[in-house]
Structure 1
Amino acid sequence: MQSFLQICIVFACQVGGWSLQPTLSDSRSRGRGARTVAAPKERTVLAAARPPTTRSEVVVSAEVAASPTTPAPGSAAVQLALCCAIGSFCSLDRVVMGVAIIPMAADLGFSETMKGLIAAAFSLGYGLGIAPAGALVSKTGAPRRTLGGGLLAWSLAQAATAPAAPMGIAPLLASRTAMGVGEAACLPSLQVIAATGVAAEDRSRFWGFLTASLSLGTIAAYALTPAIIDWGGWPAAFYACGGGGALLAFVWLATAGASEAAAPVKEEPRALPWRRLASSEPVWALAAAHAASNVFLYFSVAWLPSFFVDVFGDSTGSASTASLLPFVAGAIAAVGAGTASDAIAPTIGLTRTRKYAQSVATLGPAASLTALAVLEQGDMLTQPVAEALLVCAVATHACSCAGHGVGIQDISKRDASLVYGVTTIAAVIAGASGQYLTGAALDATNNDFAPVLLTISAVQLAGLAAWWTWWDSSERVFE
């Protein structure tokens, strides 16, 4: 708990405009030539905000949080909590459709292929928006305002899903695509906020906690959506989530967004490093690992409730409950993976740490899904066994927070949002294709999940091979 509070203090101070002076032992280990302050039994000492005095102290993003007055620490802590809340809403809004699509399909006559197309529409919008969103944050240096604008846009699109669905497939696909474009602003913005606000030796741990917040959003969606549907029908689920997200957007823009707009210190305009992106092996490693990860993640988010309904005959509520348990395990595993990675990185190095974490994140799902497929084909699969295997798959997959998830921040701070945006394009294409092809495969095989599960397992192994071949945390490509 003490370590987590230290991370929160470091991050909150950066978000709020405070600066940190490292202790003597920390300045030696971090290689900073900054002035140190003795503080027994403390790793960092708070200091009033001041201009950086050395090159190593400069926050290498397009903006430097500078304000004529030092904000209260409580305000910075609120911004930190809101970051985690926005991350939770990001996941929650993605997962709601995976639950609501079951009664929607019954009411509107959607086939499995159509369900896959609806899921893929969100991913299409996300893919169209992710690179521009990353470039926007990198170019303008306004991650907080970009994050707030994206949250408001995707929340309005979420609410619009309810009236769009009965109007026809075209309006429904348009609303889901628009929601994807809005959500594309979330993680690139958070990448920059984390890259510039958390010390390198605490970064895996912090990203683990943020990943846990994303899992909490998924858990909330699976826990609350069936109750909302029972109360007001499936349209109520979209109205409730859209309204809650819009309210959170206004709170965020009134706090963090307003402080960013007040006094940003910007760099001179510069060209973005597109050529270096294309030639960097770590960037290709990130793209491959993220693509493999998304194939599994998108399946989990979009198809787990349908899996339990089709294979075991569960109701919507029971399927949601069964789908919830793996993400509880994922939230716990993410925190553990981040903490463990920061602990072993000084001993074995960042590159090997990232490779080992990503190995767990891909081999776990591959083995679990292969076992699911074999047992289903042999008519030996029971629901408790399926739930246990999916808990293992999602929990081990969460270790990617200490692999490719935080790896972006190893190779770039200044352009972390841009790197994330570019590498996510391949991941979204893979994930969206998987969503649509899953539906088509289920229609073609009379809802046989085994071929789908085996294909996802093979993709995991291919992504891991690319990661081990190309990843290198020591290649600071863009600074």
Structure 2
Amino acid sequence: MATSGGYSINTAQEDESDENTPLLKGNGLQTVPKAAPQCCSVRCNLAVLMFFGFAVVYGLRVNLSVAMVAMVNNTNPQPSENHTVSQECPAPSPSPGNVTQSPDEGHRFAWDSETQGMLLGAFFFGYLLTQIPGGYLAGRFGGSVFLGVGVLGTAALTLLTPLAADMGASWLFALRALEGFGEGVTFPAMMAMWARWAPPLERSRLMTFSGSGANFGAFVALPLTGFICHALGWPAVFYCCGGAGCVWAFFWFLMVSDDPQTHPRISECEKDYITKSIGSEGGAHGWSVPLGPMVLSVPLWAIIVSQMCANWSYYTLLTSLPTYMDTVLHFDLRQNSFLSALPYLGGWLFSVLSGVVADFLLERELLSTTAVRKSFTVIGLLLPAALLVAVGFTGCSGMLAVLCLTLSSTLGGISAAGVFVNQIDIAPRYAGMLLGITNTFGTIPGVLAPIAVGHLTKDHTLLGWRNVFFVSAAVSASGALVFTLFGSGKIQSWAVSADKQDEQEESPCSAGVGNP
């Protein structure tokens, strides 16, 4: 028997017929059937649909960040008397031939920096409230309905954004909070679904690919929002994003089921492979959950603290980077939206790559699950933190600042295969609820970071933004330290079901199919 991440594994030599492949123990099974092919499989189709779903979700989330530049008429006020002009980057002098007018040039609002920060953070006030209930209910009943309704409801509310903005900042704040309330169930529902759909040795790649839709959505939405604002006016941004969410929901409800047993188009081979590799730990949990042991679980608290620290810098850039590009570096709206999107392209690519590499290390038993999760978390938090510090010293060099920010977010994608999938390692049965808990705490920076940025940068000086990047770097480094000391990849005793499957039936899958 070999050991990986606290799980016992049967080696291939123990089965001379080679009809079974090693599986991480802890899910009730010693071995699993040969892996069903991934190409065109239902589980891969599910990952693709989730990918585009989270791309839409993040488009709905970040559209206001860029649209705010077009909506507000004072994003770049003169520096206060307490700051010298030398601290500010010189604004370019527009030539008459390059001056263009937005279709909604006169349709602007007099919101100061702190009001903008409150509006950008409003989404997360509602997002906080539905994480844990959404994770609990998705784990109990299945996640497909909760994920689909979460995206559809958020998209429908987004269509009302121009009306709410015309009615006043308080109405827009309330609408954004309601959008967050609807979207809060989506990530816990995703985790609950993968607890039933993802074989243990494919977890990292399936979950990081589907979740990477968030970075891809930010990458596409930011420049697209800038283009739409310039060409059609800022209200069109919210109509386009809301419409895209409604279209995606149609395909989701048409093609997705909660688990392999209820999917009408899955092959018997794939169904058998998924259900037997996951075992009894992938089923629905009961009405009662072990809240006491959860509260006292050190590995769970390590995830909570680390995600809060990682999300501080992520949400700082997600909500405030377009403002930094506008007020400090003085990029125009189209340049702003494109350059603000670059960091998310790298983050998307590296998050997908990290999942593939993590599964490779686990399949080859080169590192334990705990070592894999800690390594990817430390690299994905410390290196981006160092680059954020560097951004604070780039001064008025726009290209150098963009380079450091892009590299920071790119390397941050590595943590996707670390702390951000760790819930399903320590408690697969309760993975949806655990993600609800960790994401609830992880959303607190989404509320506080834009407000803190608004306070630190109210005078729009280089010094204020330098403090923003320094704080983000320090918080990220703290998260890496906490997870290194207290994180774990072992399934927790309180998460093991009482009824283990003692024996497995013969697999209908062909013995000739290779490992995933």
Report the TM-score range of the alignment, normalised by the length of the smaller protein.
Answer: 0.7 to 0.9
1:200-230 alpha-carbon deviations (Å, 9 max, x no partner): 2222222232233222111110121112112
SS state at 1:474 partner: coil
- Residue from 446, 450, 457 that aligns with 1:435: 450
- Residue from 418, 421, 427 that aligns with 2:433: 418
Partner of 1:136: 137
Instruction: Report the Cα distance in structure 1 between the residues aligned to 2:304 and 2:285, rounded to whole angstroms.
Output: 29
Following superposition, the deviation at residue 262 of structure 1 comes to 7.2
Q: Measured at CA, do residues 336 and 76 of structure 1 come closer, stay the same or move farther in structure 2, by a change above 3 Å?
A: closer
1:279-337 alpha-carbon deviations (Å, 9 max, x no partner): 11111011111101111111111111111111211111101111111111111111221
Structure 1 gap segments, 5+ residues each: 1-22, 37-42, 47-72
Report % sequence identity.
24
Instruction: Report the Cα distance in structure 1 between the residues aligned to 2:32 and 2:432, rounded to whole angstroms.
Output: 30
Partner of 2:57: 90
Partner of 1:402: 417
SS state at 1:162 partner: helix
Superposed CA RMSD in Å reads 2.5
Q: Measured at CA, do residues 26 and 259 of structure 1 come closer, stay the same or move farther in structure 2, by a change above 3 Å?
A: closer
Partner of 1:99: 66
Task: Determine if the alignment matches structure 1 residue 301 to structure 2 residue 318.
Answer: yes
Contact 2:350-2:411 at 8 Å conserved across structures: yes
Partner of 1:215: 215
SS state at 2:221 partner: helix
Contact 1:364-1:392 at 8 Å conserved across structures: no
- Residue from 18, 43, 59 that aligns with 1:24: 18
SS state at 1:375 partner: coil
Partner of 1:276: 293
Instruction: Report the Cα distance in structure 2 between the residues aligned to 1:371 and 1:307, rounded to whole angstroms.
Output: 15
Instruction: Report the Cα distance in structure 2 between the residues aligned to 1:74 and 1:470, rounded to whole angstroms.
Output: 37
SS state at 1:27 partner: strand
Instruction: Report the Cα distance in structure 2 between the residues aligned to 1:277 and 1:365, rounded to whole angstroms.
Output: 30
Partner of 1:316: 333
Partner of 1:463: 479
Instruction: Report the Cα distance in structure 2 between the residues aligned to 1:409 and 1:75, rounded to whole angstroms.
Output: 20
Counting matched residue pairs gives 420
Q: Measured at CA, do residues 167 and 274 of structure 1 come closer, stay the same or move farther in structure 2, by a change above 3 Å?
A: same
Q: Which moved more, 1:261-270 or 1:109-118?
A: 261-270
Instruction: Report the Cα distance in structure 2 between the residues aligned to 1:195 and 1:370, rounded to whole angstroms.
Output: 38
| Structure 2 residue identity aligned to 1:44 | A
Instruction: Report the Cα distance in structure 2 between the residues aligned to 1:322 and 1:328, rounded to whole angstroms.
Output: 10
SS state at 1:206 partner: helix
Q: Measured at CA, do residues 45 and 457 of structure 1 come closer, stay the same or move farther in structure 2, by a change above 3 Å?
A: closer
Contact 2:196-2:283 at 8 Å conserved across structures: no
Contact 1:326-1:391 at 8 Å conserved across structures: yes
Instruction: Report the Cα distance in structure 1 between the residues aligned to 2:284 and 2:386, rounded to whole angstroms.
Output: 48
Partner of 2:35: 44
Instruction: Report the Cα distance in structure 1 between the residues aligned to 2:51 and 2:193, rounded to whole angstroms.
Output: 12
> Which one has the largest radius of gyration?
2
Q: Measured at CA, do residues 24 and 115 of structure 1 come closer, stay the same or move farther in structure 2, by a change above 3 Å?
A: farther
Contact 2:192-2:431 at 8 Å conserved across structures: yes
Contact 1:144-1:260 at 8 Å conserved across structures: no
Contact 2:138-2:146 at 8 Å conserved across structures: yes
Instruction: Report the Cα distance in structure 1 between the residues aligned to 2:198 and 2:18, rounded to whole angstroms.
Output: 18
| Structure 1 residue identity aligned to 2:371 | R
Q: Measured at CA, do residues 267 and 257 of structure 1 come closer, stay the same or move farther in structure 2, by a change above 3 Å?
A: closer
Contact 2:299-2:487 at 8 Å conserved across structures: yes
Structure (1 or 2) with the greater helix fraction = 1
Contact 2:135-2:435 at 8 Å conserved across structures: yes
Task: Determine if the alignment matches structure 1 residue 236 to structure 2 residue 244.
Answer: no
| Structure 2 residue identity aligned to 1:358 | T
Contact 2:285-2:429 at 8 Å conserved across structures: no
Following superposition, the deviation at residue 195 of structure 1 comes to 2.6
Instruction: Report the Cα distance in structure 1 between the residues aligned to 2:44 and 2:300, rounded to whole angstroms.
Output: 33
Instruction: Report the Cα distance in structure 2 between the residues aligned to 1:368 and 1:34, rounded to whole angstroms.
Output: 44
Instruction: Report the Cα distance in structure 2 between the residues aligned to 1:278 and 1:287, rounded to whole angstroms.
Output: 11
Partner of 1:253: 253
Task: Determine if the alignment matches structure 1 residue 340 to structure 2 residue 357.
Answer: yes
| Structure 2 residue identity aligned to 1:364 | L
Q: Measured at CA, do residues 261 and 185 of structure 1 come closer, stay the same or move farther in structure 2, by a change above 3 Å?
A: farther
Contact 2:313-2:472 at 8 Å conserved across structures: yes
Instruction: Report the Cα distance in structure 2 between the residues aligned to 1:177 and 1:284, rounded to whole angstroms.
Output: 27
Instruction: Report the Cα distance in structure 2 between the residues aligned to 1:395 and 1:227, rounded to whole angstroms.
Output: 24
Greater relative CO (CA pairs within 8 A, separation 6+): 2
Instruction: Report the Cα distance in structure 2 between the residues aligned to 1:201 and 1:343, rounded to whole angstroms.
Output: 9
SS state at 2:423 partner: helix
| Structure 2 residue identity aligned to 1:392 | L
Q: Measured at CA, do residues 360 and 435 of structure 1 come closer, stay the same or move farther in structure 2, by a change above 3 Å?
A: same
Instruction: Report the Cα distance in structure 1 between the residues aligned to 2:300 and 2:401, rounded to whole angstroms.
Output: 35
| Structure 1 residue identity aligned to 2:373 | R
Instruction: Report the Cα distance in structure 1 between the residues aligned to 2:52 and 2:407, rounded to whole angstroms.
Output: 26
1:359-407 alpha-carbon deviations (Å, 9 max, x no partner): 111112210111111333xxxx411211110111101111111111111
The TM-score normalised by the length of structure 2 is 0.76
Structure 2 gap segments, 5+ residues each: 1-16, 74-107, 265-281, 497-516
Matches within 5 A, 1:196-215: 196-215=196-215
Q: Measured at CA, do residues 352 and 311 of structure 1 come closer, stay the same or move farther in structure 2, by a change above 3 Å?
A: same
| Structure 2 residue identity aligned to 1:116 | G
Partner of 1:187: 187
Q: Which moved more, 1:207-216 or 1:463-472?
A: 207-216
Partner of 2:120: 119
Contact 1:208-1:334 at 8 Å conserved across structures: yes
Contact 2:394-2:400 at 8 Å conserved across structures: no
Task: Determine if the alignment matches structure 1 residue 365 to structure 2 residue 384.
Answer: yes
Following superposition, the deviation at residue 343 of structure 1 comes to 2.2
